[in-house]
Amino acid sequence: MKVGSIERLRWAISSGKLEPFRLYRFLQNRIKIDCSASAENLFSSGLNLPATNSVICRIIDPPQNLTPGPLSGIPFLAKDNFCLKGLIPTTCASKSLHNFSPPYNASVIQALLDAGGICMGKTNMDEFAMGSGSTENPLSGPVVNPWSPKWDPRIAGGSSGGSAAAIAAGLAPFALASDTGGSVRNPASLCGVVGFKPTYGLVSRQGMIPLANVFDCPSIMATRVADVAKVLSVWLQTGSAARKLDATLAKIQKRSPSKCPRIGIPMEYYAPGMAVEVERVWDEVARWLADDFKLNVKCVSLPHTPVATAVYSVLCAVEVASNMARYDGLRYGLRVEPSDGLQKSLAKLNLETSDGLMAASRQMGFGDEVKNRILAGNFFLLRGQKHRHLDSARRLWRCVKDDYTKVLCG
């Protein structure tokens, strides 16, 4: 199910053995077959794979001319929370942005286009990237893992399950995704691909529709580590658009690589309920790194790991409550009209008032998971709850960060 590596495809294109537009049409045909099978609710597609429903919007025609660069002629896919100008909508898999067409490209997409990459379309995701176990949303339906046994569909992970499943199914050499709390690493592990979350502040978030600003990271998925490294190098090269227009960008520190890197294995990550086979592979890899590569592998302690998930949940919900406030039906996004046929629960709302219009638009535009997180975030922000939940979460977040600092600098 693998597509050729970026390096091999670039060599074939530059040597004249492969026409870039032929590659584009070949991959678009694979995507079309998968999409058609998903639309007909078929389990298997003409690719002899489960229909993944991983690509929700395609760009049928490639650009007229190729841009020279390190990715010239290489097609890619992007998660549907990255803005792409003009050609197709950016929906975040939500009814509230069903027909939203951004007037600009996300910085990380612009950097890839400047390097000669060709965007083929958008991948499925959880609504506003709110998910981890599976990719399901009311607008586009669930993503199916391409490694699923016959007639037994399995989850692809979330919220970037569409990008992971598309790469695993051989629909593109690489795909963009976003990681807030494991949204790249989780589906990558379930679909058997490489998922890479850069350090926060390494690349620009401009044009990536936010979930939680303090955690969001543009990320990369591919079948090979070398392909991920190639895309990251494009983002980090001098003058790249991916290093602009974001106040949280950090300065890149140039350091000589260590001759003997230290690798820490957190004792707290041996969590209760971990599958025996996972624990066995974990130990085998540690021994492999220590014995075959002579690396310094040792156990370390991150004592605040047990509270990390609860801390993340509180901080993320608070940011969700703030970020989702912009989808009000007044400025952009879904706007409910009296002729739309309101649900019974909304029939008493007066759409002639801004409050009524906003309430109806948000009720009809958001799915259940988004509504749940908005309610939770606003609860944590209540005057009587802020100290108990939000302030405590912020203090514990600093403790979690200090744990890592001590280990990495010790």
Task: Evaluate whether 130 touches 140 at the Cβ level (below 8 Å).
Answer: no
- The CB-side HSE value for 252 (13 A sphere, CA atoms) comes to 15
Task: Evaluate whether 262 touches 299 at the Cβ level (below 8 Å).
Answer: no
Task: Evaluate whether 210 touches 216 at the Cβ level (below 8 Å).
Answer: yes
Catalytic choice (38, 45, 54, 79): 79
Q: Name residues whose C-beta falls within 8 Å of residue 104's C-beta, 6 or more positions apart in sequence.
A: 83, 85, 207
The neighbour count for residue 285, using CB atoms within 10 Å, is 13
Strands 296-300 and 118-123: unpaired
**Distance from C-alpha of 156 to C-alpha of 34, rounded to nearest angstrom:** 15
Catalytic choice (45, 159, 160, 163): 159
**Distance from C-alpha of 314 to C-alpha of 304, rounded to nearest angstrom:** 16
| Catalytic residue status for 254 | no
Phi, psi of 208, rounded to the nearest 5 degrees: -100, 115
| Catalytic residue status for 79 | yes
The SS3 assignment for 95 reads helix
Amino acid identity, position 91: T
Catalytic choice (94, 183, 204, 219): 183
In Å, how far from its chain's centre is CA 136? 14
What kind and span of H or E run contains 282? helix 276-291
DSSP per-residue letters across 131-191: -SS----TTT---B-TTPPTT---B--SSSHHHHHHHHTTS-SEEEEEESSSTTHHHHHHH
| Catalytic residue status for 159 | yes
List residues with catalytic annotation.
79, 159, 183
